Amino acid sequence: MVKKQFMPKWFYQLASPKWCYQISGTLLPYFLITALVLLTAGLVWGFAFAPQDYQQGNSFRIIYIHVPSAILAQSIYLTMAIAGGIGIIWKMKVADMVAYACAPIGASMAFIALLTGAIWGKPTWGSWWVWDARLTSMLILLFLYFGVMALYSAMEKPETAARSVAILALVGLVNIPIIKYSVDWWNTLHQPATFTLTEKPAMPVEMWLPLLVMVIGFYCFFASALMLRLRNEILNREKRAGWVKQLVSGQ
């Protein structure tokens, strides 16, 4: 009797560091080129050709960096938590490596979101920082990323570190809906979502199209950065494997 597989073949292939290294090497150039093209086009389009906002003037253009980085910071955290959960349930080393690789990238995106938000907040609110629900929950997200990286650095055994990080990441998931819905749940200074997939954008098409290009470009950048970090981590952890030795020796 043939045992039925409940997961697709590619899911089990992900458990192979060698397969992940090879497939990421194939995909990496495409994502890098796409990210470069989209980010360049989005920045030029948004900063040079998009019309001014009738209330905020040119200061609104910071959204072309702020919004994609804020969205990506949350998406990366979800990716990290899911990878950590997979590592706990299915004991996949590659999933643990993905979670580890996500943390510094996500922390960078959260920092950029907070920094650009402060730059936008000064002329708009008259202050670099306010203890707004959206801003505070985003700051907590940054601290969660720092906590993940600190846990990895503090523990010698990768398996123990991966389990601890996965638990922290999964617990921290409660902060993601708070970030997303804080402007709806509380009376905050932060404006509602600029655009969503389910509602018509409040912005003119000339303004939100370059923003969409930037969001996609940021995701392609994340995929590229993740693959680069993952490939480096695979080589570091699998350095005793025969295929890594052959790769390093050039055979």
pLDDT tens-place string over residues 8-31: 666 666 779 999 999 999 999 999
Q: Does the pTM exceed 0.75?
A: yes
Share of the chain above pLDDT 70, in %: 87
Task: Give residue 105's domain range.
Answer: 80-191+206-236
* Higher pLDDT pick, 197 / 81: 81
> Is position 17 within any domain?
no
Using alpha carbons, select from 222, 214, 186, 184 the residue that is nearest to residue 74: 222
Dist. CA 100–CA 170, nearest whole Å: 14
pLDDT above 60 for 138: yes
Number of domains in the chain: 1
Flag whether 164 is in a domain. Answer: yes
So what's the pLDDT on residue 56?
A: 80
The mean of the pLDDT values for the chain is 88
pLDDT score for 248: 83
Give the distance, in angstroms, between the CA of residue 105 and the centroid of all CA atoms in the same chain: 6
Q: What is the pLDDT of residue 250?
A: 73
Identify which of 115, 38, 109 has the alpha carbon closest to the alpha carbon of residue 80: 109
**Domain-located, residue 55:** no
Please check whether residue 70 is in contact with residue 138, taking contact to mean a CB–CB distance below 8 angstroms: yes
> Is residue 74 over pLDDT 70?
yes
Q: Which residues contact 165 (CB under 8 A, 6 or more apart)?
A: 84, 99, 100, 103, 148, 151, 152
Sorted by sequence, the CB contacts under 8 Å of residue 212 that are 6+ apart come out as 195
172 has a pLDDT exceeding 90: yes
249/251 Cα distance (integer angstroms) = 6
pLDDT recorded at residue 3: 46
- Say yes or no to pLDDT of 189 above 70: no
**Structural domain contains residue 46:** no
In a domain, 129, yes or no: yes
pLDDT in tens, 75-105: 999 999 999 999 999 889 999 999 999 999 9
